[in-house]
Amino acid sequence: MKLESLLKLNRTIRVIGFDDAPFIRGAGGNVSIAGVVCAGTRFEGMVWGQVQQDGFDATEVICKLLIGRKFLPQLHILLLDGIGFGGFNLVNLPELADRLQLPCVTVMRRQPAKVAVEEAMSRLPDFQKRQQHLQQAGPIYDYSPFFFQVSGEEPTVVARVLQRLTDCGKVPEALRLAHLITSAVLSGESSSSA
């Protein structure tokens, strides 16, 4: 069922939210990611994987965690805590939406500083490829308190969905839980900044 219909009928929206675990920049290796599945704001399950720090496998890893597995047929939308995992391992948002046949949304707490982001990316190999992923993700929409990019759905619909998926504050619950879980697994306790 389409998101707009779910909103109109006041039905439960099933979401998965992905965040990466804390990591030491420049150390290389893999960075853990968690995908938390929620029915509305209620926790229902999760997936766990790893991406290469500053690599190019984030889109593929997320697809492998979902395609042919139990959660994908239940989901209505996928949320990402920003477009990059493990530093600048950037998700190809249109490709992800197409492969999963789901609206895919990058959610940000504030407008990113584009100049600073591009400067940091320029120090890594394949700058043009990373820049292309950023451009393909499209414009950043401001529906306060949410800033997001979206592929596969209208921004006005996404803004309403994000409100429904947020218990309190300005972070949808699936992303908040993914953040808490990844920090707890790595450090032994969850961080306060979710």
Distance, in Å, from the CA atom of 43 to the CA atom of 162, rounded to the nearest integer, reads 16
pLDDT at residue 151 greater than cutoff 60: yes
pLDDT tens by residue, 86-137: 999 999 999 999 999 999 999 998 888 888 888 999 999 999 999 999 999 9
Q: How far, in whole angstroms, is CA 26 from its chain's centroid?
A: 22
pLDDT at residue 72 greater than cutoff 80: yes
Kindly state the average pLDDT of the residues 59-63.
98
pLDDT of 192 reads 63
pLDDT of 190 reads 79
Residue-range domains of the chain with CATH? 3-183 (3.30.2170.10)
Cα distances from 92 to residues 13, 43, 129, 134, in angstroms, run 24, 26, 10, 8
pLDDT of 194 reads 55
pLDDT tens by residue, 7-58: 999 999 999 999 999 887 777 789 999 999 999 999 999 999 999 999 999 9
Q: Is the overall model pTM greater than 0.85, yes or no?
A: yes
DSSP alpha helix (H) spans, 92-126: 93-100, 114-121
